[in-house]
A and B are shown apart, each in its own frame.
Chain A
Amino acid sequence: MEMVILLVVIVAAVSAFEIAGMARKKQTREIIIFIVLALFTLAMGIYYILAPHDKSLIYYAFKFLGLDL
């Protein structure tokens, strides 16, 4: 649980720093892309922290393509 909190804090800190700069320059599109990326990062980070030994993306890619791993 500490790792999830650490992740949220890091993403929030990076977001606060960058979004403030982008807001000053009125870069709305950049802010939207940034938020989408930050949400993806949080989702993937939380998934990885909670299930670090789960099956890998390569495993799923091979399964999807019908290849043996």
Chain B
Amino acid sequence: MLSDDKKISIRQAIFLFVTASFTPTIRIVPAYAAQKAKQAAWLSPVVTAVLLILLVQLWQVIYRKYRDKSLMDIYCDIAGPAAGTVILIIYLLWMVLLSALYIRYFAMRLVGAIYPNTDISVFIISMLAVIVYTLGFGVTTLARFNEVLLPFLVIVFCLIFIMMIPNFRTDFLTPVSVRSILPVLNASMAPTGIVAYFSFMFIFGDRINNKENINKIGFKMVLFLLITQVVIIASIISTFSYRIAQRTQLPFLAAVKQISVFNLLEKVESIVVSVWVLSDFIIICFFIICILSMLKSFFRLSDPKPLIGIYVIFSYFLAMLLANNVFEMERMSEDIALPVNIILGFVIPAIMFVVGKIRKKV
């Protein structure tokens, strides 16, 4: 469903979230899950799916009352202006950090995967220039572009999965027993930390139409994410076994490098990298839109668009100062980013929901 000039539909918003979640999913989930749950890692998205269904329900109930409000308005109304503002400042700082982290990851991956010995600034500046240009047209243009991009991404992903099948060894995915339950719960931290971005989508909730369909479209999204996450983890583990998957830096890319169709079609990893870059583009745009929406809400700005250029230069330097190497970034993602994402994406919305119920605001 197409929306008016300034708003996007809930379907378009969910599509943005799905494309944005693609890049962290293939980067962090397989290695993390393999490390925690070994051969049972492929079951970890099931736990995430259950939690995400609950989160979808929660936002549906909240939006029955707050029809055209953003996350900022909702939190300030439920928790009060003071407590709401403090929580939202934490959200803002976290978004700033995440946007810089994803900018840096994007460049580091290109250098690590296909362009060794290249200055990462080349990639970062190119990407940020495209982002400044795109965001100038607003969230509607980005959402419409993403509607074209997501099916392409899914088709590429399906083709690659089919080409990976000859390398699969299903015995690497077993045994799975009752003793796998705790490790699987532990491993679900990674996919759950990523799907927590679903809540961040409502930072620009005032620009999302027909939110009465969150439940309906959200359920399809959960099913899609469950299948893709299981397929990604299972394809990597069944190609390498969990022992190699947990030690490999970019296991999905390494698995794709094994593809050889009749010795004719090889080196398809460049396709994955290009799709990956497109997903990076969407996730960086997603976070910058969130940051600009929060700045607009905090300072009651009429139009945050003039801030895009200077914010992007700011985030370039933040990305450069953030880490000295990829290992620091991985530690940051695993030890800090995933738990904080879960707190901000799942725990705080749940607390707000309970407080809202007590105060009869939801």
Contact = CB atoms under 8 A, between A and B. Distances in A.
Interface of A: 10-11, 14-15, 17-18, 21-22, 25, 27, 29-30, 33-34, 37-38, 40-41, 44-45, 47-48, 52-53, 55-59, 61-62, 65, 67, 69
Interface of A is mostly: helix
B329 interface: yes
Contact of B335 (A17, A40, A67): A67
A41 B302 CA distance: 23
Given A41-B313, A65-B336, A58 B303 contact: no
Interface of B is mostly: helix
B332 A61 contact: yes
A18 B303 CA distance: 12
A10 to B, nearest CB: 7
Scoring B302, B303, B306, B323 by chain A CB atoms within 10 A of each residue's CB, the highest score goes to B306
Given A21-B306, A44-B314, 9 more contacts: A11-B310, A17-B309, A22-B306, A25-B303, A29-B299, A30-B306, A56-B321, A56-B324, A58-B332
A17 B304 CA distance: 15
B314 A29 contact: no
Interface residues of B, number: 27
B129 to A, nearest CB: 12
13 contacts: A14-B309, A18-B309, A34-B307, A37-B311, A41-B313, A41-B317, A44-B318, A45-B313, A48-B321, A57-B321, A58-B328, A58-B331, A59-B328
B310 A38 contact: yes
B306 A56 contact: no
B107 to A, nearest CB: 15
B310 A44 contact: no
Scoring A11, A40, A58, A69 by chain B CB atoms within 10 A of each residue's CB, the highest score goes to A58
Contacts of B51: none
Contacts of B304: 30
A62 B320 CA distance: 17
A57 B295 CA distance: 23
